[in-house]
Amino acid sequence: MTEEEFQACMTAMTGGDRQALKAVYHAYLKLIFAVVYDTVRQREEAEDITSEFFIKLFHIAGTYRAGNGHKKWLVTIAKNMAIDRIRKTGRETPAEVLPEPEQEQPEFTEQIVNRVTLKQAVAGLKPDEREILDLKAVGQFTFAEIAQMTGRPMGTVTWLYNSAIQKLRRCRQWI
């Protein structure tokens, strides 16, 4: 979604247009859910926060000011909501229980086996690596933008991303 399209959606949402919200939802659900999940690391809570995010977005659409990049704005809001939730619940961010490695079954097709192994590989990523991977792959931010958003040096961001890709590649090599 371009900046102009997003701006138009925000204006429409200010007037109560739910279809505009739906357009934004379809464009950025994966990114927002990934960012929230990377922060809270619990699926149900991530779903709750993501839902609340879009409801909140519908109400605060009028506060959006174009010029600084709408994706960065969205990610910042979503991450803050996730951090607020963690503070309210007063818990640390335990990693969700990793799924047990599934036994390869001969009747599975290669595609299914490939997906499962990739899922296992993603589950094995460190939180930092997954966060950077999500921002880069899903959000399509540049390394510079990710460094600015996460407050990390760009070298660290690049290193974490490459590390994540290497882990995924190894998983793929298992196939």
Partner 1 sequence: MDLDNNKKETQTEKELVEAYLNQLALDTPDLWDRIEAGLDAEEYQNADQAADQNAVMNAKETVQEIKAGKKPKRMAGWIAAAVSLAAVLLAAILVVPFLSHSGRMDKTEDSGRNEVMPDEELVQSQDSAKNESNSDGVDFGNAESNGEEIENSDGLEHDSLTEAAEENASVNGIQPEGIVCTLEILSRTEENCHCRIISIEENSFALSAGTEIEIICMDGTVEAAQGSVLTALLIEKQENGKYLVAIQRPEE
CB of 67 to partner 1, least distance (A): 27
Q: Does the footprint of partner 1 cover residue 60 (CB under 8 A)? A: no
Q: Give whichever of 4 and 97 is closer to partner 1, judged by the CB atom.
A: 97
Out of 12, 27, 77, 137, the residue judged to bind partner 1 by CB under 8 A: 137
Positions 40 through 59 that interact with partner 1 (CB under 8 A) = 47, 50-52, 54-55, 58
Q: Does the footprint of partner 1 cover residue 95 (CB under 8 A)? A: no
CA distance 27 to 33: 12
Stretch that binds partner 1, among 14-22, 76-84, 99-107, 145-153 (CB under 8 A): 14-22
Instruction: Tell me how many degrees the CA angle 37-3-60 measures, rounded to the nearest 5.
Output: 60
Exposed / middle / buried, residue 54 (Cβ in 10 Å: 0-12, 13-18, 19+) = middle
CB of 77 to partner 1, least distance (A): 15
Q: Does the footprint of partner 1 cover residue 34 (CB under 8 A)? A: yes
CA distance 42 to 16: 31
Out of 12, 113, 138, 154, the residue judged to bind partner 1 by CB under 8 A: 138
Q: Does the footprint of partner 1 cover residue 33 (CB under 8 A)? A: yes
CB of 10 to partner 1, least distance (A): 16
Positions 153 through 172 that interact with partner 1 (CB under 8 A) = 165, 168-169, 172
CB of 117 to partner 1, least distance (A): 10
